[in-house]
Amino acid sequence: GLLHGTYWYDRFAEYTLGAAAKGIGFGYMHTDDGAFTSRNYTLGTAAKLAPGFSVGSTYTWHRTRFAEKRSPFTWDLGFMIRPDPSLSIAGVWKNVNRPEFSGGAGIDPGSGAVSRLEDYFVGGISLRPFGERLTLSGQAEIDKGRKPGWLFGGRISLTPAIEIFGSYARDAEWGG
């Protein structure tokens, strides 16, 4: 299982719960940034196709506070290549199905009101220079017509049950 939260100034702006076993998983994410509230329910599947190569997909139902509007399902496809225990390369094609909101109620912080979620690609690399106890990662979000968004992070395992995560995000479009 997993429990994760983001605290902004005076409140938890986001929290995530998840559980997975044997190639299937379920997740829940609640977001409240003060202006927008949503709940996402995700079902994920994965398969190892060869040593060091896996593929997966997720299906997410987005429920927003726009009760009179339909909230879309999204479908994502991904892969991970791990040629060596010290290196992982992964990518996700997000919103493969390019879902539509009824009435154009979707909001994209970079584009404003939208009626369709556009597809985009997120790619990343993780290095483990000292084995599984320390992981350093970087990823880029690539979307048509926008500058790439960047995320850098790390994870250290203090014990098998205690890990510390940290990240820094930079998105020129959103001013982050």
The per-residue pLDDT for 88 is 97
- Please report which confidence band the pLDDT of residue 139 belongs to, taking 50, 70 and 90 as the band edges: very high
Answer whether 54's CB lies under 8 Å from 46's CB: yes
pTM beyond 0.95, yes or no: no
Nearest to 14 by CA among 25, 3, 22: 3
Supply the mean pLDDT for the chain: 83
**Per-residue pLDDT tens digits for 36-67:** 778 889 999 999 999 999 999 999 998 876 54
**Per-residue pLDDT tens digits for 69-117:** 555 789 999 999 999 999 999 999 999 998 876 555 555 555 555 567 7
The per-residue pLDDT for 6 is 76
The per-residue pLDDT for 69 is 55
